[in-house]
A and B are shown apart, each in its own frame.
Chain A
Amino acid sequence: GAVVSQHPSWVICKSGTSVKIECRSLDFQATTMFWYRQFPKQSLMLMATSNEGSKATYEQGVEKDKFLINHASLTLSTLTVTSAHPEDSSFYICSARDVLARSYNEQFFGPGTRLTVL
């Protein structure tokens, strides 16, 4: 149980285009999902917290107009990187909380999406 998927697993795009990444909780309801970014050989940095049906909360230094997050259902959150540039190339990872789980503070992670912007 508690499986989180991401699609696509990798994507290459041209500079200036937009890319959408999906995060799905497959067997549980996730009222809260999180988006992280991981640069090569570095740790995960939280970008934003996404609550179903409301606006996402962004961490300091993360541009909300560039990284659009939508959490329209209890099983799906999307991250859209708008007008992508090479410096946006990174590994994007989502996670989700199962609010019905006994250990509600545990997050389940997706496999990640590697974005390369040319």
Chain B
Amino acid sequence: AQSVTQLDSHVSVSEGTPVLLRCNYSSSYSPSLFWYVQHPNKGLQLLLKYTSAATLVKGINGFEAEFKKSETSFHLTKPSAHMSDAAEYFCVVSPYGGATNKLIFGTGTLLAVQP
């Protein structure tokens, strides 16, 4: 069975410090992996995606994530947090490398950025 585990429900950082949001996945096949961000009362926005190309994926707003097959991880990082990064972040897996329609969402990590 395919699943996604976001290890932290809440992460708090100070503005200007690094961000690390952790995600582990379980998939029987080569998955596609995504990170989405959701600001309050707004729709989901795609930050970045991994689809079996380069293992280090760069996304929007300075975010990046590294696919590590040996660790079944896809952690999201950013070198320096900005106040506008405060939001809910979802790690998402699409099993079978995209041959199926379904997206499986993690439980989300709420990022707080302190001034």
User: Is A110 touching B107 in the complex (CB atoms < 8 A)?
Assistant: no
Q: Known: A43-B90, A112-B43. Is A107-B103 also a contact (CB below 8 A)?
A: yes
CA gap between A11 and B67 in the complex, in Å: 40
CA gap between A114 and B41 in the complex, in Å: 9
* In the complex, residue of chain A having the shortest beta-carbon distance to the beta carbon of B98: A105
**Secondary structure type dominating chain A contacts:** strand
Which A residues between 59 and 107 are near B, CB-CB below 8 angstroms? 93, 95, 97, 103-107
Mark interface residues in A40-52 (1 if CB within 8 Å of B CB, else 0): 0011111001000
Q: In this complex, which of A44, A93, A95 has the most chain B Cβ atoms within 10 angstroms of its Cβ?
A: A44
User: Is B107 touching A103 in the complex (CB atoms < 8 A)?
Assistant: no
Q: Known: A103-B49, A104-B98. Is A46-B43 also a contact (CB below 8 A)?
A: no
User: Is A32 touching B101 in the complex (CB atoms < 8 A)?
Assistant: yes
Question: Is B46 at the interface (CB under 8 A from chain A)?
Answer: yes
Q: Which residues of B contact A35 (CB under 8 A)?
A: none
Q: Which residues of A contact B42 (CB under 8 A)?
A: 111-112
Q: Bin the interface of chain A by size.
A: 20 to 34
Which of A34, A44, A93, A103 makes the CB contact (< 8 A) with B101? Answer: A34
Q: Bin the interface of chain B by size.
A: 20 to 34
Q: Which residues of B contact A111 (CB under 8 A)?
A: 42-43
User: Is B107 touching A43 in the complex (CB atoms < 8 A)?
Assistant: yes
User: Is A43 touching B106 in the complex (CB atoms < 8 A)?
Assistant: yes
User: Is B46 touching A93 in the complex (CB atoms < 8 A)?
Assistant: no
* In the complex, residue of chain A having the shortest beta-carbon distance to the beta carbon of B106: A43
User: A32 to nearest B CB, angstroms?
Assistant: 6
User: Is B51 touching A103 in the complex (CB atoms < 8 A)?
Assistant: yes
* In the complex, residue of chain B having the shortest beta-carbon distance to the beta carbon of A49: B101
* In the complex, residue of chain A having the shortest beta-carbon distance to the beta carbon of B91: A43
Q: Which residues of B contact A44 (CB under 8 A)?
A: 44, 90, 105
Chain B interface residues (CB < 8 Å from chain A): 32, 34, 36, 41-46, 49, 51, 90, 94, 97-99, 101-103, 105-108
Per CB-CB distance, the 7 closest pairs between chain A and chain B, nearest first, are A105-B98, A111-B43, A109-B44, A43-B105, A44-B105, A109-B43, A43-B107
